[in-house]
Structure 1
Amino acid sequence: MFTLVERLPDETVRLTPLARDDGGILVPGDPTTVASRAFADTVRQRESEATRWVWDDTARWYPQLLDEGVLVERCVDLRLCHAILRASSSTVGSRIHEAPRGPYDGPQAAPVDRTALFVVEPESLPDPLAEFLLQREAVEASPHRGALELLLTAESTGALIAAEMRHRGIPWSVTRHDELLVEALGPRPATGERPTLMNGALSEVRAALNAPELNPDSPTELMRALQRAGLPVASTRQWELKRYEHPAIEPLLRYKKMARLLAANGWGWLDTWVVGGRFRPDYVPAAAATGRWGTSGGGALQLPKAIRGAVVADPDWTLVVADASQLEPRILTALARDPAMARAGAGDLYEGIVASGAVATRAEAKVAMLGAMYGATSGDGGRLMPRLTRAFPRAIAFVEEAARTGERGGVVSTLLGRSSPRPGTDVPPEMAVSVGADGRAWGRFTRNFVVQGTAAEWALCWMGALRRALLARYGSGLSAPHLVFFLHDEVVVHTPAAHAAEVAALVSDAATEAGRLLFGDAPVRFPVTVATVTSYSEAK
C-alpha cells in the first residue's frame, strides 16, 4: 500500500492512502491530517503495515524522521523518479515524457538546520498526488515496466540510504586528522597564513624562479614567472608542468599538492564538517546524468588518501570496506553478452584479457578497456583498440553503437531505462564541450553513458540489497551494523567487531544479488574485494 505524504501551509501533514480498486487502478482513500510534531510517531506506527511512503523529496522528509529515531523501509521519491521518467525512452507516449520543466525538476532540498530555535519545515512541492498518479500512469503503460519499477525502487532506496548515512555519519578522528595535516603541511598556522612546509616549498620556488614576491596561488602571476624563467608554459596545470625540467618544477608541484590538501580538507574543513566525531556529508543522489551520486558539501566522494587515515572505527567496532572489482568492464560484458569477455572475467578480468592474447600486459589491458569505454582514438588506448575489437567483438560493437547513436544526435539508455539527455536540450554539467558543434564529443558521452549509468544502477541495487540484509539481521538500533560511506563502486559498513565476518559475507552476497537482479543468469561475475580494518586507509 502507498501512503502519500504532504506538508500543508498550516504546518500540518496530510496522509493519503492509495490502494488499487478491482480494475487495478490506484484510488486515493480518505486522508488524515496530523500535526507536524506528531508525524514521526504516526510513521513509526504505520511502518508495521508494509506501507510505501510517497513524498516529494526524501531529503525534505527523512532527516526529520531519523532525528526522531524512525527508520523507513520503503519510499517513492517523486522528484528523483520524475527526472527518470521525464527523460526515459521507456516512457515515450506518456504525458510525463518530455513534459515542460516544472517544480519537480528542481534540485534536491537543502538540509534543514534542526538545531535552530525555530525550525520551519518547507511545504511540499505542488500537488504531489497528481504527480504520483502521472508517474504511475507512465510506468504502467511502459513496455519496459519491470525494468523501470526496479530502477525507481532502487533510486528511491538510494535516497533513503543517503539520508541514513548522513544521519549516522562517518566515524572520524579529529586528533588523527590533525596529525596527518601536521605531517603533510606542518603545524596549524594562524588564519590567513601558510603552514611551514608550504612556506618551505614556496621559498624554493621563488629562489629557483628569481621571483622573491611571487604569489603561486595566482595562475597569471605564476605563469609569467615561469615564462620569464624560459619555460614556454601555456597553463599552470600539473600535467603540463611535469613536461618541463627546471629546479622550480619539483617544489612547485609539491606546493600545489599541499595547497590542494589545505583548501579541500585542511583545518578549516575539519572545523566545519566534523562534529562529535562524525563527518556528515550532504550526498546528492543522481547528481550526474548517468545517475552517479555527488555531494553538495563536504567532498565525501573525493576524500584524498592523505586524510583517509582519519576515518577510524569506534572502540570495539571495525570498518568493513568493500570494492567492486573492475565494475564498469564487467557491466559492459554483461550488457553486450560477450562470451569471450565473460570467460576472461572468470577471474581477474585484466589478466584474462592478457591470457586471451589481445594485449601483452595487465597495464595494457586496463588502458585498452578504458579506451573502449571512453572512446580513445590516440595514445596507447587508441593503439590497442583494434586488438581489443578482434578479441571481444560484441563488447566493442556495443559501445561503438552507443557512440554512433550519440553522434547522430540520438538518445541511449541504461539497462533499466535511464536515458541520456538529448543534444542541445538538457546538456549535463559534466559535459564540458559544445555538443552542438562536436558530435564526436557527444558520441564519447553516450558511449560511456550506457556503461557508467548501468554501473550506477548495479551499485544502487548492491546497496539496497545490503541495507535490507543488515536490517533483517541486526535491526536499526544504535549498536547495529550500518552503511556509512559510498563511492561509486565502494561501500563502507561500520560494525561491532564481533559481527565483522558475517557483515563481510552479507556484502558479498548483496553484490551477487545485484548482478542477478540486473542480468539474470548471464555468465558474468561481480566479485567484491572485502577488507576488515580499523582505519579506512588500511583498506587501500
Structure 2
Amino acid sequence: MTSVPSGRPDPPPASAAASARVAVAPDPVGPGGRLQPLADDGTPLGPPRTVPDLARAVAEREAEGPPRWVWAATDELYARLLDRLPVRLARCHDLKLVEALLLGYEERHARPRSLGAAWARLHGLPEPADPRESGADDQPALFAADRHRLPPGTDHLAAVVAVHAAQLGRVAEAGHPGRLRVLCAAESAGALAAVEMGRDGLPWSADEHDAVLTSLLGPRPAGTARPEVLGRLTEEFQRAVGAPVNPDSPAQVLAAFARSGVALPSTRSHVLRESRHPAAAVLLRYKELSRIHSAHGWAWREQWVRGGRFRPEYVVGGVVSGRWATRGGGALQIPRLLRPAVRADPGHRLVVADAGQLEPRVLAALSGDPGLVRAAAGGDLYAGLARAAFDGDRSRAKIGLLAAMYGQTGGEAGRLVAELRRRFPAAMELLEATARTGEAGGTVRSRLGRTSPRPADDWQQAAAGAAGDEEDASPAQRAARAWGRFTRNFVVQASAADWALALLAALRRRLAGSPGARLVFFVHDEVVVHCPAALAPVVASAVTDAAAEATALVFGPTPVPFPLGTQVVECYADAK
C-alpha cells in the first residue's frame, strides 16, 4: 500500500460532521495530511479526505462538534499541531498509550507498542522494536518513516484505522470493559494535557531563582567551578576527616571515614544521619546543596526555562504504576527551597490543589473495610485511624498504615501492622492477597485495569516453591518477597494514578470554558492552574467538581471522600 499524494483537498464525506471519531495521518514532510471519519466501533464512515493544511482542517472539524481524534501518538502529532490550533482539542485516542495499556492487561508488557508493532501483530508479521524515546534534540526527525516502524509502502492512515478498531475489540473483551475504556480515555486525555503543559510552561521567575541560589550557594561561579558555599563546605569536610578528599567521590569519602575509625556501608543520606562523626553533618549539607546546584542550578535554568516559563517534557505513563515521568528537567521533583521561583504573572494567581492522604483513601475505597471507611469519612484519615486503634497517636497510625501498604514487617512498624491487621481485616487482607500473588509470580490490576508486569522467567524459576523464615530465606525467597511488596503497593499506587488521571481529564475539560486558565503542573496527586485572578474562585470550584467526577468514574458510589486541599496563591511556596 502506498500513501495518497497531497494535492487538492477531497470533498468532506457527508457523514464527517456526524462521526464520533476521526482518524488522522499527517503528511510526512508537509503541513497537510488525511482524515477519515469513524463510527464509535471504529468502522470507517466514508473515504479518507486529503487536506493541504492539517491544523486548519482539525480546527474546523473540532468546531463542528469535538470528535475523538485517533492518531499514532499524541506527543508527536498534537505537539506539531498545537501552536497552529485556535482551540485545544477536547478528546483523543492515543494508539501508542492504549497499546501499552492493553499489552499490560494481556500480560505482554515487554512487547513493542508503536503503531508499526501493533500493525505487524495484526498481520502475523515480525514486530519491529520500538524507536528510542525522543527528546527535544530529535524533533527534526519526528515524523520520519521509522518513527512508527511501519513497513515501507504501508499506508499510515489505513494502519491507524485498523489498529484502532482492533484495540476497541480488545477492550470490549476485557473482564471489566467499562473500567478499561475509562482508563484508555483518561490516559489519552493526559497525553493532551502533557503536551499543553509542556507548551504553556510553569511560570518561573529568574530573579527569584537567582536570589534563592545565591542565598544557598553564593554568587554564580565561572565555568565549572564549585560555588563558593560548596567550596567552603568541601574545605570544612576535609578538615573534619583530616585529608584532601573529594566529597563527590563515594570511594574517597568511605576511605576517609574508615581512616577516622568510622566504618560506613555507604554514603547515602540516611546512613550519614545515623553517624555521630562531625564530618557526617557537613557532608549531608554539602550533598543537599550540591544536588540543588546540579539538578536545578543556573545551568538547569538556561536549559529548561524559556520566556519566563519552565517547560518540561512529560512522559505519560512513564512508570508502570501509571505515574508520569519526564525527559530531563526534574519537573516532578521541584525542591521546596526553589518554589519561591514559581510565581504567577501580574494580575494572575496559581490555584494549587493536592489530594491529601490519597493512597490510604484508595485502600479504603478498594477494600470497603468498614473501619477504614469510617476513619476516612472523618476528614483526617490518620487521626481517625489513631482514635480507632492507636490511643489517639496519629504518628503511629500513619507509620503503621504506610508500613502495611509498602510491606514493612520488622521492628515497631511490624507491631503496628499487626494491630492494623486485627482492627481492619478487610483492608489488610487485600494487601496481603496482592502480596501473595506477587510472591507467586502473578499479576495484579489497578481499579481501572492497569496491570503489573510479571517478573522475569528466570526469577520465576528460581523462586518456585519459595518459603521459610526471613532469617534463613534464600536469595530466591527474598526476591519473591520483594516482588510481593511491589504488587502489594502496585494495586494502591496504580489505582491512585487512575484517580489522578481522571481528575486531570475532568479538570482539563472544565477549564476549556475559562479563558486564560491553564493547567501548568501535574505531579502524582497535585495540580496547579495558572489563571487571571478574577477567575481563581471559578477554577477552585472546577477543581472540586473534577475531584468528585474522578471519584465517581473510578470507584463508583463510595462512602470514601477524596477531598482536595485547594489554595489560591501568587507564589507556589505559599501553598505549602
Same fold (TM over 0.5): yes
Give yes or no for the alignment of 1:54 onto 2:73.
no
**Match for residue 216 of structure 1 among 244, 247, 252:** 247
CA distance in 2 between counterparts of 1:426 and 1:183 reads 52
Q: Which residue of 2 aligns with 1:195?
A: 227
Q: Which amino acid aligns with 1:339?
A: P
Question: Partner of 1:431 in structure 2?
Answer: none
Alpha carbons of 1:389 and 1:65: their partners in 2 closer, same or farther (altered >3 Å)?
Answer: same
Residue pairs, 1:28-427, within 5 angstroms: 29-35=46-52, 38-48=53-63, 49-70=65-86, 71-88=88-105, 102=127, 108-111=133-136, 121-123=143-145, 125=148, 126=150, 127-211=159-243, 213-346=244-377, 347-358=379-390, 360-424=392-456
Q: What aligned pairs does 1:518-533 form with structure 2 within 5 A after superposition?
A: 518-533=554-569
| Distance change (3 Å), C-alpha of 1:88 and 1:122 | same
Q: Is the 8 A contact 1:57 1:109 kept in 2?
A: no
CA distance in 2, matches of 1:309, 1:451: 32
| Aligned-pair CA distance for 1:122 | 3.3
Greater mean deviation of Cα atoms: 128-137 or 401-410: 128-137
Structure 1 unpaired stretches of 5+: 428-433
Runs of at least 4 residues off by over 6 Å: 94-97, 434-437
Q: Output the CA distance in 1 between the equivalents of 2:550 and 2:271.
A: 42
Q: Is the 8 A contact 1:325 1:528 kept in 2?
A: yes
- Give me the TM-score of the superposition, normalised by structure 2: 0.85
Shift of the 447–376 alpha-carbon distance from structure 1 to 2, 3 Å rule, reads same
Among all aligned residue pairs of Structure 1 and Structure 2, give the percentage whose two residues are the same amino acid. 46
RMSD: 2.5
Q: Secondary structure in 2 aligned to 1:368?
A: helix
Q: 1:148 to 1:400 in 2, by over 3 A?
A: same
Q: Distance in 2 between matches of 1:250 and 1:467?
A: 45
Number of aligned residue pairs:
518
CA drift at 1:199: 1.2
Aligned residue number for residue 482 of structure 1: 518
Cα 1:110–1:29 shift into 2, 3 Å = farther
**Residues 424 and 436 in structure 1, CA contact (< 8 A), matched pair in contact too:** no
Q: Equivalences for 1:449-468 in 2 at 5 Å? A: 449-468=490-509
**1:4 equivalent in alignment to 2:23:** yes
Q: How far apart are the structure 1 equivalents of 2:511 and 2:233? A: 48
- Candidates 10, 31, 34, aligned match of 1:14: 34
Report the more deviating stretch, 297-306 or 125-134.
125-134
- Alignment check: 8 A CA contact 2:29 2:143 kept: no
Question: CA–CA distance in 1 between the matches of 2:225 and 2:422?
Answer: 58
Q: Deviations over 1:94-142 (max 9, x none)?
A: 9979x9994585565544777xxx7863346232222212211111223
Q: Is the 8 A contact 2:364 2:560 kept in 1?
A: yes
Query: Bigger CA drift: 375-384 or 298-307?
Result: 375-384
Question: Do the aligned partners of 1:241 and 1:249 also contact (CA within 8 Å) in 2?
Answer: yes
Contact 1:359-1:365 at 8 Å conserved across structures: no
**Aligned match of 2:155:** none
- Report the CA distance shift for 1:515/1:103 in structure 2 as closer, same or farther (over 3 A): farther
Contact 1:358 1:388 in 2 (8 A): no
Aligned to 2:112: none
Aligned counterparts of 2:136 and 2:530: Cα–Cα separation in 1: 24
Shift in CA distance, 321/120, structure 1 to aligned 2, threshold 3 Å: closer
Contact 1:56 1:77 in 2 (8 A): yes
Q: CA separation of 1:369/1:295 partners in 2, compared to 1, >3 Å: closer, same or farther?
A: same
Q: Read off the aligned partner of 1:46 and give its amino acid letter.
A: R
Q: Distance in 2 between matches of 1:284 and 1:511?
A: 23
Q: CA distance change for structure 1 residues 113 and 10 in 2, over 3 Å: closer, same or farther?
A: closer
